Amino acid sequence: MSTEARLAAALARAAEVDRDLADPAVGRDPKKLTVLGREHVRLERIRQAACRRDKLTSEIEQLRELARDADPGLVELARADLARLEPELATLEHELEELLVPPDPLDDRDVIMEIRAGTGGDEAALFAADLFRMYTRFAERRGWRVEIIDLHEGNVGGLKEATMSVRGERAYGLLRHESGVHRVQRVPETEAQGRIHTSAATVAVLPEAEDIDVKIDDKDLKIDVFRSSGPGGQSVNTTDSAVRITHLPTGLVVQCQDQKSQLQNKLRALEVLRARLLDRMVAEQEAARARERRSMVGTGDRSAKIRTYNFPQNRVTDHRIGYTVHALADVLEGELTELTDQLQLAHRAEQVAT
C-alpha cells in the first residue's frame, strides 16, 4: 500500500475515533475509552504531520512559481527559501512515513519490569540496584508512575531481584528493548588491587496484560500465603500477608509481599502472572511465524548481552545497534533518552523496510 493510501486510511480512522469518543456510551466504558484515547493520540500525530506537510508543499509550489519570475530580486529570495524549505519537506515526509507504519498494539501498554542480579555475586546485586534506580529515574523524568510489586535485597545493599510496574504513555513501546542481559565492568569497592570485574544483571520488560488478553482459570492456580520478610511496615514479619501463586499448566511462579494486605498482594501477583503469560503467548506466536529477524533490535533473546556499562572508559554501549554514549553517570541517573531514541530509530527502520 502506498504512503498516500495509508494516509487516507489513517485520516478516515481518525474521523471514526473522533465520533466514537463523542459518543456518551463510550464515555461510560472506561476500558474502551482508554483504548480509543491511545489510538486518538497516535492518529492525531499523523493528522498534524499531514497538515504541516500539505502546508509546506503549497508554500514550496508558490516559491517555485516565484523562482520563474522576471524580477531577479524575487528569484533570489525564492531560491533562498526553497533551499531552506525543501530539505524540511523531505524530513517531514520521512517522519510521516514512519508514523504510518502500523503500530504494535502492545506499545501503549503499561509495563511489568523484572530486574535480577546475574553472575558476579555481591557486585551483580549492586549493579541490579543501579539498574533499578536508573529505570525509576527515567520513569520519573517522563512523568510515569512506578510501583514496587516485589523486592529482595542483597547482602551489601544491592538487589537480588525486584519487580515493579511502570505506568505511563507508551511505557512498553519505549522500554521493550531494555529486555536482556546488561553487563557492567568496574572496580568493586572491595577490590584492593584495582582489578576490573565483570558482572551482569537481567532485565525483563513485560507488557501489562488486560483481561481480554489472558484468561486465568481459578482451578489452574495454587495460592500459598506466608509471612513477609525484610524491612517494611506493620504488616511485615507479623501477618501472613505475602502471597505466592503457581500457575499449574505452565509452572510459572509469582510472589508479592510489598503490599499492606494479603488481598493487595494477591491482586498484584495476578497482574504479574498475566503479564508473564501474555509475554509467553506473544513469544510463541512470533516463533510460530518462523520469521527470521536479522535486525539486532527486538530479537526477544534475553540470553544475549545487549548492553555494557564500562566505568573505566565512562561509556555505555548497546551492542545490538553498535551505539555508544560516553556519559555513563548520566545514563545511570536516568538519562536514557539518547539510547531509547536510537533503538526506536533502528526498530522503525526495520519496520519500514519490511
pLDDT of res. 241: 81
Give Cα 19 distance to the centre of its chain.
30
User: What is the average per-residue pLDDT within 50-67?
Assistant: 93
At 311-338, the pLDDT tens digits run 999 999 999 999 999 999 999 999 999 9
User: What is the average per-residue pLDDT within 68-72?
Assistant: 87
Residue 154 amino acid letter: G
pLDDT higher than threshold 90 for residue 53: yes
> pLDDT confidence of 13, banded at 50, 70, 90?
very high
pLDDT of res. 288: 53
At 282-312, the pLDDT tens digits run 777 666 543 433 333 333 334 468 999 999 9
Strands (DSSP E) found in the chain:
111-117, 145-153, 159-167, 180-186, 197-207, 221-226, 242-247, 252-256, 305-310, 315-318, 323-325
To the nearest 10 degrees (0 to 180), the angle between helices 3-21 and 30-66 is 140
Torsion, Cα 204 210 213 218, to 10 degrees, reads 100
At 152-163, the pLDDT tens digits run 888 777 899 999
pLDDT higher than threshold 90 for residue 195: no
Cβ(295)–Cβ(277) below 8 Å: no
pLDDT of res. 348: 75
d(CA 144, CA 336): 14
DSSP, res 142 = T
d(CA 274, CA 117): 23
User: What is the average per-residue pLDDT within 40-56?
Assistant: 93
pLDDT of res. 299: 38
From the CB of residue 12, how many other CB atoms can be counted at a distance below 10 Å?
A: 11
d(CA 273, CA 259): 16
Q: Of residues 155 and 274, which shows the higher confidence score?
A: 274
pLDDT higher than threshold 50 for residue 124: yes
Give Cα 227 distance to the centre of its chain.
34
- Residues 92-131 as b/e (b if ≥16 CB within 10 A, e otherwise) read beeebeebbeeebebebbbbbbbbbbbebebbbbbbbbbb
User: What is the average per-residue pLDDT within 343-347?
Assistant: 86
> pLDDT confidence of 90, banded at 50, 70, 90?
very high
Q: Of residues 261 and 51, which shows the higher confidence score?
A: 51
d(CA 269, CA 350): 35
User: What is the average per-residue pLDDT within 128-143?
Assistant: 96
**Domains (ranges, CATH) in the chain?**
3-99 (1.20.58.410), 111-212+297-353 (3.30.70.1660), 218-288 (3.30.160.20)
pLDDT higher than threshold 60 for residue 18: yes
pLDDT of res. 292: 35
3-state helix, strand, coil in the chain (%, to 5): 50, 20, 30
**What's the pTM?**
0.67
d(CA 329, CA 314): 8
At 231-245, the pLDDT tens digits run 544 444 456 788 999
At 204-260, the pLDDT tens digits run 998 888 765 677 888 999 999 887 665 544 444 456 788 999 999 999 999 888 777
Q: Of residues 265 and 104, which shows the higher confidence score?
A: 265
pLDDT of res. 155: 79
pLDDT higher than threshold 80 for residue 353: no
At 167-188, the pLDDT tens digits run 998 899 899 999 999 999 998 8
